[in-house]
Every structure is written in structure tokens, then in C-alpha cells.
Chains A and B, each alone.
Chain A
Amino acid sequence: MGILSILLCVPLVGVLVLQFFPKRKFSAHRVIANLTTFVTLILTIYLYFPFQTGQEMQFVEKVSWFTFGSFEPISYSIGLDGLSLPLLMLTTLVSFIGSIASIYIKERTKQYYSLFLLLEVGTIGVFLATNLVLFFFFFELTLITMFFLIGIWGYSKKERAAYQFLIYNGLGSAFLLIGIVGIYVYFGSVDYDSLMKVIPISSFNPFTWTLLTLLLVAFAIKLPIFPFHRWMLLVHVQAPPSVVMIHAGILLKMGAYGMLRFGVSLFPDYMEYISTLLAVFGLINLLYGAILAFAQQELKSVLAYSSISHMGIILLGIAAANQVGLQGAVLQSISHGLLSALFFFLVGALYERTKSTQLENLGGLAKSMPIYSGILMVASLGLLGLPGLSGFVSEFFSLLGLFERHPIYASVGTLGLILAAVYTLRALLSVSFGEQKKSISHQDIAWKEWLPMFFLVVTIVGIGVYPDLISSTLNHTLETIVSDWRG
């Protein structure tokens, strides 16, 4: 068994071990989940070092799975390249911190952590899979586990949120499935490698367009792109914060990953062809999300719309159809993943104390909770794209890339930088600045909370100051993709 399979199995082992503990042993459940996610994190960090930049798929494992007559057999095949490595690291990091942040979950912890770890298997698998069927399998796994995590442990409207999540994503999965089947039938393979060789370049035909559209719609729902975004608002607001950390931190990025992996790298010339359309949708997402984030009265909704806005930037980076833009899109996925994980950890800690996330009920927290407010400040500055934090490089690269192809759209996109400052500061200032609303002063966060947050902050600063941490592994993979455009 190769290291990647071990990585996939670790959370499964965790799930198994959990079953041996009685229901009431809350702290034991927590320890096991934290340990398991920690081991996966260590494993991925360990993968980072032997990873060879300048080579394609590495640590490949391939076992034949099943066959359909004369078709190429479908295999269990996993691997890692420059595109999936950073996202994999994001996944295990956010899962680890998310598992720590699950201290605010106080009932049915055994089931919770079992599902949480299964969800991790799904998210890791999505980024490791090197064929479409396996990808789909893991993609569905995240869907099922998320459905229960939202529906059982969420806030008051959890059922509605869970169903809306299921219906939208189920619809997306249906599109994805049809697309995959179509690809398998039409091109005779589901392996990324062979597909990249098989799919002809710059010969547009309607059937391929249909397939691409199906895939893009599926990922547009996941990302989400306007007007498919309604479901994720409910999830952001109703799911427990530790689950939203995974949701906003990783699951949305599966949409971005899908677009890059199956859109850009399989159909490069098609994607280039529709780059204007992508740019338009990117701008709509960016501005629509930002304006609505400004109008919200509740902290989690602000963050939900800000997620929509930030996903717009990913789309702009893809629309740029050049290496800088793609670099920006991936960096934005990572950066927004880290930032939203941090934010929803903060939200969880806040709700635990104030029992409200309505902006009007908050204010002046900097007085009684200085450490909390300090971290919230850093997170907010990251969200509005301050240089030195990860948000800046990703936005800068995405827009810089777009300036080459669509300078006018890119200029309009810079409005997003201003609006981001407007809505973020509004939210930040009404939480921690001003006079304290209630006379009760809340306890500042304990080391158990600020230490993992601080870990995220360090990562965010690290990427912000030295983006090559990610770019160095990423660039070669992107280069091979871009070479199709240049050629």
C-alpha cells in the first residue's frame, strides 16, 4: 500500500477506533478525532518534501477495479501533482483545525466525529483521484456526510439547510455523472492522463461543448456561481461553525479544483474560448457578493456573501487563461480556505459566548476579549486582501492575469478590492469596536482556542509573505497546462 492509500485509510481507522468507545466518552472521541486528523496533516507535510517539482503525477498507485467489455478498465488510481498537492495540504490542515474547533459540539459526538472523519476521507480522495469515476465516488462521499453533519448538528433551520444542500448538490452530481458517462463513452477513458492525450485540441464540436457545459454547471453549483448560490447561504448560516470550516474551507474549493482539472486542463482551448463569459460571471460573483455582504445584518451571512465574492476572484483567475491567472485562482482557493476556516472558528468561539451573531447585538468586544479581537482583526485584514497576508497575493495574481486578456473587466474587478474593505471593516468594527453592548463581559478565548487559530494565522502570513511556498510546486503543473494555449 502506497503512502497515498495510507493517507486515505488513516481517517477510516479513526472511524473504526471511535466505534469501540462508549457514547458518553466525549473527551475520548475528541482526542481520537484530533489525533487522526493530526496524523493526516503530518503525512501530507511529509509528502511535501519528497515531492519533485517539475514532474507530473507522483506517488501513483493504480489497481484495476472493474471493466466494461472492450472499454478501458476503470481502476482505483490515485496520485499527486502540483495542482493537487497544495489543495491536499489545505484539506488536512483545515480538517485538523476543524476537528479541534469541534469542541463546541456537545451532543452525539461519536457519530459527529465518525461522519467528520468520513468527510475527510471524501475530501482527501477528491484531490487524490486520478480518474473521473473515483473522483465522483469521493465527491459523493462528501455530499452524504455533509448532509448529515448539517442536518443533525446545525442551528434552528438545519433540516431546511440540509435538504437544500442535498438538492442543489444532487442536481450538480447528476450533471457531473452524465458528463462523466459522456466522456467515458465518447473518449473511451476516464483517466486524466489518457484523456489529456485523447481529447483533441482546437477542434470544437457540439458534443464536447455539451460535456464541458455539464461539468462546468456541476462545478458552478459547487463553487457556487451566481445564480446557483442560494444553498450555500443557508449552509453557512445554519451548519455548525466547525462544519462550515470544512464546507467553506475545502468543499467550495472542490468546485474550483474541478474547473481547473476537468475544465482547463482537459479542454484548454474551449476554456480559452469562453474566457469572456467566465470573466463576466466572475465579476457578477465578485460585485454581487460584495454588495450583498455589505447589506447583511448577521455575521455569518456577511461571511457567506463574502465567500461568493471571493469565489468570483477564482473565476476571474481562470478567465485570464494565462499562467498568472491560474496561479491566482489556486492561491485564492488556498487563501480563502484558510481564511474562512479561521473565520468560522472565530464565529464558533463567539457564538459560544454571546449566543448571537447578529451584528446589532455585538460591539466593543475588544475590551473584554483582546486576543479574540486581535485574531479577528488579522482575519479581516486577510479577507480584504492586505499585503503580507495570503489574500493579497491571490487577488493580485488573479487580477494581474486578467489584465493581460481583459483589461477593462479587470479594472472593474478592482472595485471588488474597495467593496471588500467596505463590508469587512463594517463587520469587524461592529463586532470588536465601539461601546460594549451588554454590561456582561465575556471571557477571552483560552489557549485551546487561540493556539490552533494562531497556527492558521502563521500559515496565512507565511503564504502572504512568501507565496512561493505554494507557487513553487504549482508552477510546473500550470506550465504544462498553459503550454496548450501558447501552442
Chain B
Amino acid sequence: MVIKMINFAWTIPLLPLLAFLIQLTLRTKGKKLWVSWIGVISTFLAFLYAVFLLLQSFVWNRAITDWKVDWLHIGSNVITVGASFTPIQIAMLFIVSLVSCLVQLYSMGYMKDDGRSNTFFAYLSLFTFSMLGLVISPNFLELYFFWELVGVCSFLLVGFYFDRESAKQAAKKAFIVTRIGDVGLFIAICLLYWQVGSFDFAVVKQAVDTNQLSAGMLTLIAILIFVGAVGKSGQFPLHTWLPDAMEGPTPVSALIHAATMVAAGVFLIAETYWLFEASPTALTVVAYIGAFTALFAAVIALTQTNIKRVLAYSTISQLGYMMLGLGSLGYGAGFFHLLTHAFFKALLFLVAGAVIVAFRHEQDIRKMGGLWKQQKWLAVMFLIGSLSIAGIPPFSGFFSKDEIFLAVYHSGRYTLFVAALLAAFCTAFYMFRVYFLVFTGKEPGEKTKSLSWHFQVPIWILAFFSIFAGFVQFPSHILGEWIGVTESSTLWWIPVAVTLIALLGVFLAYAIYQRRWVSAAKIAKYSGFGYRLSYRKFYVDECYQAVFVWTLKGLGWILMGWDRFILGGVAQFIKLLPRQLGEIGSFLQNGQVQRYLLISIFGTLILLLSITAGRLIG
């Protein structure tokens, strides 16, 4: 039985796919409750399977059987489709199926009153299928296949409230901006194919190990793959879609835009890490982009007033940390942070969703306050998430962040180290700014809405993981050993520094937003331009609008004029040139088939004549 289950591990994504098909068929007829349970149960089964695989691999060190069948022919080359199960893939299976299952359960509460909730659950199942498929892909082409599919699911779910103009624009932006990144990955895949002759990770890895690729080509390919990751994981300069994606329902933000899909970029780099290890230049690029994004997004998050946007920028910033870790040769550190982040960020989003529901769909943190007195458990949960992301021991975020700092320090790039420290300070500050604004202060006049068990159970479970997930790496490095990383020597002062700077951020937020020793408005006023820069997100959207959108529009109008008047004019000219042709045209206008037939016969005659003439010449 056990052996059989190991052999059929590739069937995991089929469960949610089946659920999707059923849910789509039952879209209008199916009872809401049933349709949502179909999704939850299928994902739960996938989760159980993932747990089984995790136990097999993690605890008993058994190899999970890979799977492979012929898929398509490129010329005479056979391309296969399949599944592989390396430790990080199994870890991702666990995270994705767990968070997806919890989010679907949560959505049963959150989407209860929505008329199109059946469609919503169908989309969630489709997403879960695509994401699981992405995770177990053993080759680039299959990965790209699912990579685009998760993108489209994200598009569908961001635009779920399709009648809202903002949701429509956000969905479009999410798809197009990530596609710009995807093209990088696309080119990398094509180049690799002609260099190596295969899409398989294993084959490409071997080619890299045996130096079949030139150094320049390697760097180019690695950077192009990174461009794909930049788009998906919301790294600068392709980060602009992620905050806008918050137009989607909050459970979607938790699942897709925090825990799983946006981490796919980081996962991709982790999975093809041998490529990056072979190219120091590419690693440097990854590290710098990551560090810059971490700080940049954290600074923006300081001043945002929409609770979901703060969390969105925080996600971008944390993804930047992961990239920084990977770029600093901290393979284990980057992946470890992906794992802990999935839990605490999903937790924060789900709590934020609950808060939004409690305040009757208000998202502006300035209009919230005093929730602590009415819903204590929510406050505690949010606090757990905040402490974890801020990096306060012993919460999970502390351990993973600490490893990243260690890796950066060992890489010797001290500028990046300082940038990361600053970002950590900002992280603690903006999270606790939200915390104090939402949960402390004046109680809301209206009684806030109480929340059903669908909200509570997923939040409790995620809180559990947010607290304890860190212990897979501390005190003993079992995660690192499992994914095959040798541990580097720890330095005692790094965790201390990280904790202190986080506490400083918390304290500052406490001083400004709880005690109100200093007025936030005054600070904003005195920091003037700096505040505006942060509040307006460094005007990146405006720049893109001016540079890309207007250029494309202008070009469109110019070419339209050219096409209509110049080419159209030439067409008119050609039409007039042989007058006879025109006359034949008017002759034909009476629409009599006989006349046209006559002309055809005439044409055939010319054909015959010319052939005869040709014979005379030849």
C-alpha cells in the first residue's frame, strides 16, 4: 500500500483538477455549500498525500518515485511530461496544499453571501491544481506551462469582482506585468533547448556541471530566468502589479498573493540553483535586486493606509529578503524564509480579512480602532503574525530572517547587510503601526461583526505554524540537512542585532500610534517630500504610465494613421490604376453568376493559350 502510494505521487494535482471540473459543471445548479466542500475536501486529500510524502522523505528518507511519459515531439526529439519529488518540491507540496485547504475553508465564511461563490471555488481549485503542478514539474517546459496557468488563475481571481473598474484594471495589470517577466523565462527556455537539447532539469544540470555552456551564456540564461522570477515574485521593477492585485477577495490575497504563487519565483531560483551557483554575476544581480526590493517596498509600506496594501508591500519586501538570501549563497536561508513567510503572511492576511469583515468591509486603517476589546482572539492572532514577521524570537520569522542575515554577512556585501537591517526596522515599524491603529485606541461605535468557525479554524492552525515552524531549523538544522545544505557557522551578535533593531521599530510604532507621544501627522508634515515619495510609491506607476502606456498608445495612433491613409491610399491607387479592371468590376456588379463564369472561362483560355505559347518558346 505504502509502496503504491509512493509510486502514484504524481496524481496529487489531479484531485483539485477533478474538483475544478465538477465545480465548473455545477456552477449554476450546485448548492453553494456542497460546491465549496468539494474544493476543501479534494485539497485536504491532496494535503494528506503531501503529508504522507513528507513523512516518507523527511522522516524515513525514502525516495519518492518520479514519473514520466512522452508528451510531444519537437522534430524528432521527444519531450516528456512528468513529476519529480526532491525535498524542496515536497516541502512546497505541503505548504501549497495546506494553505490552499485552509484558505478554502476560510472562504466558506468569507464568500458566504456572494452570488458567484461557486465560480470562486472553481477558480480556487484550478489554481490549486496549477500550483501543485508547477511545484512537481521536472522540466522547464512543464514548469512554464503551469507558471502561466497560475498567472491566469491570479488574473481571474483578482478580477473576480468584474463589475468594478478597479478590479478590472488590476487584473489586466497583474497579467501583463507578470507576462513581461514570463517572456524572460520563455527566452531562457528556448536558449537552453538549443544549448542542451532538453528541458529536463536533470539533463540541464548535468550540462552545467560538465561545463557544456559558455560562461556568458550561463549568466545570460540565469539572469533571464531571474527576470521571470522578478515578474512572478513582485520584485522591483516589476512589483507594481502586486499591490493592485489586492482588489481580489482577501482569501485570494492570502493564498495567491502572499503564500504560494508569488513565492513561485523564489522557488524557481531555488530549484534551478545549480545554474545560479555556476554564475557569480547572476547571483550578484539576484542579491542586489532582492535587497533593494526589500528596503524599497518596506519604505512604501510605512505610509500606506489600506491594510491590504501594507501587507502587499510587506510581501514584496519579504520576497526581496528571500531573493537576497538566495543571492548571497544562502540557499537554505532563502527557502526557509519562503516556508515561514507562507505561514505568517497567510495568517496576517486571513486576520486582515476577518478584520475587514468585522468592520463591515472597511479597509482603511485610519478608520479602524479598538478591536482588541471586542475580538481579543483576532488581536492575539495578528500579534503573533506581526511578531513573527518582525523577527522577534522565538517566532518563526526570527529564525529564517536570522539565517538570511548570516548568509549576507558571510557573502561580504556589507551594504546589502545594512539595507536589510534598515528594512527589518521598517518591517517592525509598519506592522505594529497597523497593529496599534487597528486594535488599540477608541472602540468602534457599532458593534463589530462576529465571525463564524470557518474564519477561526484556519487562523488558529496558521498561528500554530507561525509560532513553531522555526524549530525545523533550530536548535538542530533538520530542514537544512534534508534539503542538502551544509550549515555555516553562526555569529552570536547577528540575532541580537536583528532582534534589537526590530524591537526599536516596535517601540517607535508604540510611541507614535499607541502612546501618541509624537503626532504622526506632524512627522509626515516635516518629512515633506520623503513622506510623499513613500505615500505615492515613488511614483513608479506614474512613470510606467508615461513611458510605456502612452508610448504604446501614441505609436498605435501614428501607425493607425499610416495604415489608413498611406497604405489605404496606395490601395485606392492600385484599384484605380487598371481602369478596365474597375469596369469589369462594375460589369460584375449585377451579381449574375453567368457573367462571372464567362470571365473564368476566359481566364482559363488565357491559361491554355499561354501554356501553348510557352511551349513554342521553350
User: Residues on A close to B: CB < 8 A?
Assistant: 68-71, 133, 140, 144, 147-148, 151-152, 159, 163-164, 166-168, 170-171, 177, 181-182, 184-186, 227, 229-231, 288, 291-292, 294-296, 322-324, 327, 364, 366-367, 381, 386-388, 392-393, 396-397, 399-400, 403-404, 407, 410-411, 414-415, 417-418, 421-422, 425-426, 429, 432-436, 466-468, 471-472, 475, 479, 482
Contacts and interface: CB of A to CB of B under 8 A. Distances in A.
B612 interface: yes
Contacts of B187: 403, 410-411, 414
Interface of B: 71-76, 144-146, 148-149, 152, 159, 162-163, 165, 167-168, 171-172, 175-176, 179-180, 182-183, 186-187, 190-191, 193-194, 552-553, 555-557, 559-560, 563, 567-568, 570-571, 574-575, 581, 585, 588-589, 591, 593, 596, 600, 603, 607-608, 610-612, 614-615, 617-618
Contacts of A417: 179, 182-183, 186
A417 B181 CA distance: 11
Contact of A475 (B73, B167, B186): B73
B147 to A, nearest CB: 8
Contact of A366 (B146, B162, B570): B162
A425 B72 contact: no
B162 A434 contact: yes
Contacts of B149: 386-388
A272 B220 CA distance: 28
Contact of B75 (A164, A288, A327, A415): A327
B448 to A, nearest CB: 31
Contacts of B585: 163, 166-167
Contacts of B75: 322-324, 327, 475, 479, 482
A324 B74 contact: yes
A144 B165 CA distance: 47
Contacts of A323: 74-76
Contacts of B182: 417
B152 A404 contact: no
Given A327-B74, A387-B148, A479-B76, A69 B615 contact: yes
Given A324-B74, A434-B163, A400 B552 contact: no
A185 B172 contact: no
5 contacts: A387-B148, A388-B149, A418-B183, A425-B176, A426-B172
Interface of B (DSSP majority class): helix
A147 B596 CA distance: 11
Contacts of B581: 167, 170
Nearest to A373: B162
A182 B588 CA distance: 29
A251 to B, nearest CB: 18
B163 A436 contact: yes
Contacts of B152: 381, 386
Closest 3 CB pairs of A and B: A295-B556, A185-B614, A323-B75
Contact of A164 (B571, B612, B614): B571
Contacts of B574: 167, 171
Given A291-B552, A429-B172, A410 B190 contact: yes
Contacts of A327: 74-75
Given A68-B608, A177-B603, A435-B165, 6 more contacts: A69-B615, A185-B614, A292-B563, A386-B148, A410-B187, A434-B162
Contacts of A404: 194
B618 A475 contact: no
A413 B571 CA distance: 28
B402 to A, nearest CB: 39
Given A230-B568, A433-B163, A468 B563 contact: no
A94 B317 CA distance: 50
Contact of B560 (A69, A292, A429): A292
A422 B549 CA distance: 10
A229 B603 CA distance: 25
Contacts of A393: 72
A144 B604 CA distance: 14
A421 B152 CA distance: 11
A433 B162 contact: yes
A231 B571 contact: yes
Contact of A388 (B145, B171, B570, B596): B145
A421 B182 CA distance: 12
A364 B610 CA distance: 59
Contact of A433 (B168, B570, B618): B168
B261 to A, nearest CB: 15
Contact of B559 (A152, A291, A388, A434): A291
A475 B76 contact: yes
Given A386-B152, A417-B179, A164 B575 contact: yes
Nearest to A229: B567
Greatest chain B CB density within 10 A among A163, A170, A387, A410 is at: A387
A230 B618 contact: no
Given A68-B611, A386-B149, A421 B72 contact: no
A414 B188 CA distance: 11
A438 B182 CA distance: 38
A71 B553 CA distance: 58
A421 B611 contact: no
B176 A422 contact: yes
Given A68-B615, A400-B193, A414 B186 contact: yes
B165 A418 contact: no
Nearest to A294: B556
A415 B182 CA distance: 11
A404 B163 CA distance: 45
A246 B168 CA distance: 33
Contacts of A466: 71-72
Contacts of B179: 417-418, 421
B575 A185 contact: no
Contacts of B71: 466, 468
A70 B570 CA distance: 44
A414 B74 contact: no
Nearest to A467: B72
A181 B611 CA distance: 6
A309 B187 CA distance: 19
A397 B559 contact: no
The CB with the most chain A CB atoms within 10 A, among B175, B555, B563, B600, is that of: B563
Nearest to A399: B190
B27 to A, nearest CB: 8
Contacts of A433: 159, 162-163, 167-168, 171
